[in-house]
Structure 1
Amino acid sequence: MHHSSFLLENSDFPITLASASPRRLQLLEQIGINPEKIVHPRINETPQKKELPRQYVQRLAQEKLSAGRELSLESPMILAADTVAAAGRRILNKTKDVKIAEKQLRLLSGRRHRVYTAVILYNAKTQRISSRLVCTIVHFSRLTDKQLFSYLETDEWKDKAGSYAIQGYAASFIKSINGSYSNVVGLPLFETAQLIRGQGLIP
């Protein structure tokens, strides 16, 4: 039996992805979902005073969804997500500043931290919003200065939650992860697929 048809390999999926992240797109494609449209919602990503990491990602995913709805009014479904790394209550946001990246990586060095992703799926026809919040624990080895500075030179840390990419060179510093690997890349695939299954779009 030829099963590739259910994966809709070459056809577009009736979903708009409200995310500028190329990693999210790759992850969706990995499970056979090619969104028919991609929009780049522009939102203010500054954390609010005393906002906890889990509240922060849920709020941002919600704001991306609202922006995505405005940008694609005809879309039957919109998928939005936001990912953040957190050391305790502290949000480790994406950065382009090497000094901030160094500070964040020193904070993660030798410790466990959490990565949260909030995923939201909106069905325009039923007006139903379903969401998931996924948390993964990542254990970093203690980084030597040499390791830290050679990593900063790779530029891989730019625009990544926590200033590292688990699917890149930083994998050589990560002792273990507890939970969803794809969540740390930027989209928890099992939970995202569950939301899409809930709409009857995939088996």
Structure 2
Amino acid sequence: MSTCARRCPRRARTSCARSSGPGGRAVRPRSRRACWASTAACGPSGAGRPPPPGEVGTITCAPGPGSFVLDLSVRGERRTLTNRRTITNRYVLTAGPGFADLLTLPEARVTTELETGDTTWTLRLRHEAGPVVPFVRLLDARPAAAPGWARWDDNAFDLLPGEERVLHATWDGVPPQDRRIRLDAWNLPPTTLTDAGA
């Protein structure tokens, strides 16, 4: 599994970094190119020329049959800093016929640090070792018919090697002693988090 990393000078950013080998060692692709509309071209082709109307551009990563994570950030151009808006998304993609390589993705190691309050939990996740962790989920670990719920400010995301995320949950209608969260991902063993610890 690879995670793509290239930066455009303005307005848009793409990321391309290959994670492979024992311990998920990061290896940069040999060649990569990115070019986005309304920005100075990042690649050798079309330098100084924006793409035609309606065409966003192209991303080229190092050739290979495996899956990879595209980390894409787009920043709107505004006159003042306070009006600028950045939208970031990640996508698990493949350069081959399918995602079979995900079935053999090595297990990663992620540490957790949980702070609990009256109605809010703060969870810090840090990727410590191994490859990319796709499809991280934070689920209510109680029975489906239990009253109340937890609302996270983000969920169902991918965690890159060395990355740290801080997430916040707000509990609504759940007694403190019943609150528990199940943390799982594609290549992580499921963990239940409670006020008393994991």
Q: Give the TM-score taking structure 2 as reference length.
A: 0.31
- The structure where strand makes up a greater share of residues is 2
- The structure where helix makes up a greater share of residues is 1
Higher relative contact order (Cα pairs below 8 Å, separated by 6+ residues): 1
Rg larger in structure: 2
